Structure 1
Amino acid sequence: MHLTAVVAHPDDADIFCGGTLAKHADRGDDVTIVYMTRGEYGGSDTTEEKLAATREAEAEAAAEALGANALFLGFEDGRVTYSLENRLELVEVLRRLDPDAVLTHFRDDMHPDHRTTSRLVTDAYYMCSLPLLETEADPCEPSNVYYFGKPTSSFEPEIHIDISEYQSTKQKAILEHESQVEWLEEHGGIDTEFDGLIEGVRAEARVLGRTRGVEFAEGFVALHKGADDYLG
Structure 2
Amino acid sequence: MKLLAIVAHPDDADIFCGGTLAKHADRGDSIAIAHMTKGEYGGFETTEADIAATREAEARRSGERLGASDVTFLGFPDGRIEYSLENRLSIVETIRAADPDLILTHYRDDMHPDHRITARLVTDAYYMASLPLVESDYGPCDPDNVYFFGKPTSSFEPTVHIDISGYEDRKAAAIGEHESQVAFLEEHGGIDAEFDNLIDGVAAEDATRGKRTGVASAEGYVPLHDRADAFLG
TM range (shorter): over 0.9
1:183 deviates by 0.7
Aligned residue number for residue 214 of structure 1: 215
Q: Structure 1 stretches of 5 or more lacking a match?
A: none
| 1:167-224: CA deviation from partner (whole Å, max 9, x where unpaired) | 1110000000000111111112212221111111110000000122110000000000
| 1:27-84: CA deviation from partner (whole Å, max 9, x where unpaired) | 0000000000000000111000000000000000000000012011010000000000
User: 1-side partners of 2:44 and 2:77: how far apart?
Assistant: 16
Indicate if the aligned counterparts of 2:129 and 2:141 stay in contact, CA closer than 8 A. yes
1:228 deviates by 4.3
3-state SS in 1 of match to 2:75: strand
Aligned residue number for residue 189 of structure 1: 190
Indicate if the aligned counterparts of 2:223 and 2:229 stay in contact, CA closer than 8 A. no
Aligned residue number for residue 51 of structure 1: 51
User: 2-side partners of 1:165 and 1:39: how far apart?
Assistant: 29
TM-score w.r.t. length of structure 2: 0.98
Q: 2:60 corresponds to which letter in structure 1? A: E
User: 1-side partners of 2:134 and 2:184: how far apart?
Assistant: 42
| 1:61-120: CA deviation from partner (whole Å, max 9, x where unpaired) | 000000012011010000000000000000011001000000000000000000000000
CA RMSD of aligned residues (A): 0.7
Q: 2:196 corresponds to which letter in structure 1? A: D
Aligned pairs (5 A) from 1:97-136: 97-136=98-137
Q: 2:128 corresponds to which letter in structure 1? A: M
3-state SS in 2 of match to 1:126: helix
Q: Structure 2 stretches of 5 or more lacking a match?
A: none
3-state SS in 2 of match to 1:74: coil
User: 2-side partners of 1:130 and 1:204: how far apart?
Assistant: 38
User: 2-side partners of 1:21 and 1:49: how far apart?
Assistant: 28
Aligned residue number for residue 156 of structure 1: 157
3-state SS in 1 of match to 2:23: helix
Aligned pairs (5 A) from 1:1-232: 1-68=1-68, 69-232=70-233
What fraction of aligned residue pairs are identical, expressed as a percent? 68
Q: Which deviates more, 221-230 or 66-75?
A: 221-230
Write 1 or 2 for the structure with the bigger share of helix. 2
User: 1-side partners of 2:156 and 2:177: how far apart?
Assistant: 28
Kindly tell me the number of residue pairs found equivalent between the two proteins: 232
1:135 deviates by 1.0
Show structure 1 runs of 4+ deviating over 3 A: none
